[in-house]
């Protein structure tokens, strides 16, 4: 004779479902919240790069259109590769390093403007982390110019290495920069996850961005001249018509 089953095994399926429903709902809610929490990677959204790369547990939503492009790992700081044997001193002086950097910046900036379009802003990262080292961000005036630049640059080489360019979600570099670094207080050094932007010399900044302002002013003046010529031509035509109407007796 078989032993009697426990009373809890005699509950029907609907009864079991009503008992377990709160736990199932709670589990489903937790999983939904987990999915929502990994939708966007805040670091990728702010700086256009993430130290986890493709292994990041959150999503990197790459933009389909943007004014800003990222050229990855294109700048090489000579001070980072010219250390002495004991790594205590750098063989490249600060003056030589600044001259080297200004030359690089001017070359890239001029190439971007001459081939693709007006550049609003260009920044170079001085970080040491693999996802930020040598990154160059170029913000164009027009999204069409940024798209054209990405398509062309990915078929070009620089310093015997292929160029990797992509559209970047970065639009406000103030949000992407490390504020502690700007105040000289960043404790993470070159491995900080926010941008450490390398400054160019004041003379080069005046030359590059001043040249752009002069070009815009000349364009606006030429546009005003063309508009003035059209308006003067229109006034002259109107005077001729009025004289013709007076001769013919018409108003």
pLDDT in tens, 38-60: 578 888 888 889 888 888 888 88
**Residue labelled with tokens 């709160």:** 22
pTM over 0.75: no
Closest C-alpha to 133, from 44, 49, 56, 66: 49
* pLDDT score of 207 more than 50: yes
Name 78's Cβ contacts closer than 8 Å, sequence gap at least 6: 92, 96, 97, 100
pLDDT at 26 over 70: no
Residue identified by tokens 């001043």 is 210
| Among 60, 76, 84, 47, residue whose Cα is nearest residue 178 | 47
Q: pLDDT at position 24, please?
A: 55
Contact 40, 59 (CB under 8 A): yes
Work out the average pLDDT over 173-198: 90
- Average pLDDT (98-104) is 95
Bigger pLDDT: 231 vs 140 = 140
CA torsion sign for 27, 44, 172, 177 is positive
- Convert the pLDDT of each residue in 114-125 to its tens digit: 999 999 999 999
Cβ atoms 170, 176 nearer than 8 A:
yes
Rounded Cα distance between 116 and 101, Å, is 22
Whether 119 and 138 have beta carbons less than 8 Å apart is answered as yes
Predicted confidence band at 231 (pLDDT cuts at 50, 70, 90)?
low
Query: C-alpha 43: how far from its chain's center?
Result: 12
Q: Is the pLDDT of residue 146 over 90?
A: yes
pLDDT reported for residue 230: 58
The two structure tokens encoding residue 124: 């170079």
Give yes or no for residue 84 having a pLDDT over 80: no
Collapsed DSSP state (helix, strand, coil) of residue 102: helix
The count of residues in the chain is 251
pLDDT surpasses 70 at 81: no
**Region 182-197: what's the mean pLDDT?**
90
CB 150 within 8 A of CB 164: no
Task: Give the Cα separation of 20 and 15 in Å (integer).
Answer: 9
Q: What pLDDT was estimated at residue 53?
A: 85
Model confidence at 85: pLDDT above 90? no
């Amino acid at each position: 004779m078989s032993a009697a089953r426990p009373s809890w095994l005699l509950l029907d399926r609907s009864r079991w479902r009503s008992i377990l429903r709160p736990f199932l709902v709670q589990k489903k809610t937790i999983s939904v919240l987990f999915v929502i929490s990994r939708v966007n990677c805040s670091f990728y959204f702010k700086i256009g790069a993430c130290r986890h790369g493709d292994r990041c547990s959150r999503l990197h939503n790459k933009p389909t259109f943007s004014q800003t492009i990222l050229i990855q790992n294109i700048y090489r700081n000579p001070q980072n590769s010219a250390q002495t044997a004991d790594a205590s001193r750098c063989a490249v002086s600060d003056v030589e390093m600044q001259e080297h950097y200004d030359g690089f910046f001017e070359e890239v900036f001029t190439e971007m403007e001459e081939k693709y379009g007006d550049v609003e802003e260009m920044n170079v990262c001085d970080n040491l982390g693999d996802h930020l080292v040598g990154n160059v961000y170029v913000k164009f005036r027009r999204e069409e110019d940024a798209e054209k630049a990405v398509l062309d640059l990915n078929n070009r080489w620089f310093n015997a290495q292929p160029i990797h360019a992509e559209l970047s979600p970065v639009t406000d570099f103030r949000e992407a920069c490390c504020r502690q670094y700007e105040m000289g207080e960043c404790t993470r050094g070159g491995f900080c996850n926010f941008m450490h932007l390398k400054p160019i010399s004041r003379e080069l900044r005046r030359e590059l961005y001043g040249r752009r302002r002069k070009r815009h002013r000349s364009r606006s003046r030429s546009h005003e001249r063309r508009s003035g010529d059209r308006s003067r031509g229109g006034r002259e035509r109107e005077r001729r018509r009025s004289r013709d109407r007076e001769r013919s007796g018409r108003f």
